[in-house]
Amino acid sequence: MMSASGASTVGSQAFHLESWSRIRLDQVERALEQWITTETSVEVGHAAPAALVEAMRYSVLDGGKRLRPLLVLAAHEAVAGTPGSAAALRAACAVELIHAYSLVHDDMPCMDNDILRRGKPTVHVRFGEASALLAGDALQALAFELLTPEDASVDGVTQARLCNLLARAAGSAGMAGGQAIDLASVGHTLTEDELREMHQLKTGALLQGSVLMGAHCGQPDSVALTALRDYGAAIGLAFQVVDDILDVTADSSTLGKTAGKDADNDKPTYVSLMGLARSQTYAQDLLAQAQQALQRSGLKNTLALAALADMVVNRAN
């Protein structure tokens, strides 16, 4: 359970997630700052339009939990036993770029039509719809560019594996497919199985993909990989359950986005389907599943992953 000081107790060991995260987030922020520039073709140096890059930087920098990059780095450390690799840092930044692009597009009038994200006006409100669409497109492309450096920092087999994992997590059988189901479900009542499938794709796929990408930056055995896949699935679904809970229990200033939006748009959620109390219990059940998966992984360095799972479920925004 996470304490107010940011310490998480996992078994008999205390783990300070805040201290662990601060170092890794600084690495991620510096890398994103470096790579999202007017020379966004980082390997070949082609200049990008300054206005487009401004919208890209606005959508990515100085905001967000950076949960997905942290999952990449934590999973890599769990498998490799030590922090830090060029592949893991590039993978961490790539998943954040994909996440940011999805938010830019999801907020647009043709989808969720939201005006607030990460405590500031959404990209289409700030820059216009056409610029927002292009910024999202460019962020998606840059994600895959980061995974395929032309130097020898990431070997070709790892590049291909990471690109495959990210494409699957973000595509029609992942995040984009889940968003399509979400849009088609407005005003309809879904079964619990249908709601679970939607959120496993829309939110869970990229979170699970982050864990698997981090793992594949090392050399996981089949037992560890299966357990990490189960861990990622559990926290991916838990994240959305908690999001649905917070949508009705927190205000917009706390969330950094518009509270109550799902109810206003008549979207199916866990709270609308199961009720608040049962949704809260379900989130804790998913947390237990994630922790159990780590226990059977055979990995010794899983404290960061365990603490991140606890943060996902017991967060306030």
Q: What does the pLDDT read at residue 143? A: 98
Q: What does the pLDDT read at residue 62? A: 76
Q: What does the pLDDT read at residue 83? A: 85
Reported confidence tier of residue 138, pLDDT bands at 50, 70, 90 = very high
33-89 residue pLDDT tens: 999 987 755 455 567 899 999 999 999 997 788 999 999 999 999 999 888 799 999
Q: What percent of the chain has pLDDT over 70?
A: 89
Q: What does the pLDDT read at residue 252? A: 64
- The mean of the pLDDT values for the chain is 90
Residue 71, both tokens: 């999952």
| Residue of 272, 285, 269, 204 whose CA lies nearest to 239 | 204
Give the pLDDT mean for 255-272.
72
156-174 residue pLDDT tens: 999 999 999 999 999 999 9
Spell out the domains of the chain, with CATH numbers in brackets.
Answer: 7-314 (1.10.600.10)
Least confident range from 62-71, 113-122, 248-257: namely 248-257
Q: What does the pLDDT read at residue 260? A: 61
Give the H or E element holding residue 251.
none
Q: By the 8 A CB rule, do 93 and 32 touch? A: yes
**50, 96, 143, 216, 229 from 71: Cα distances, Å:** 31, 11, 16, 12, 12
Q: What does the pLDDT read at residue 67? A: 97
Give the pLDDT mean for 282-310.
97
Q: What does the pLDDT read at residue 200? A: 96
Q: By the 8 A CB rule, do 224 and 76 touch? A: no
Give the pLDDT mean for 199-217.
97
Q: What does the pLDDT read at residue 186? A: 86
Give all strands (DSSP E) within the chain, no chain letters: 7-10, 13-16, 116-117, 120-121
Q: By the 8 A CB rule, do 80 and 147 touch? A: no
Q: What does the pLDDT read at residue 204? A: 97
Q: What does the pLDDT read at residue 224? A: 98
- List, in sequence order, the alpha helices (H) in 81-174: 86-106, 123-127, 129-146, 156-170
Q: What does the pLDDT read at residue 4? A: 41
Q: What does the pLDDT read at residue 12? A: 39
> What is the sign of the dihedral through the CA atoms of 214, 217, 218 and 222?
positive
Q: By the 8 A CB rule, do 228 and 212 touch? A: yes
Residue 76, both tokens: 């890599």
Q: What does the pLDDT read at residue 3? A: 45
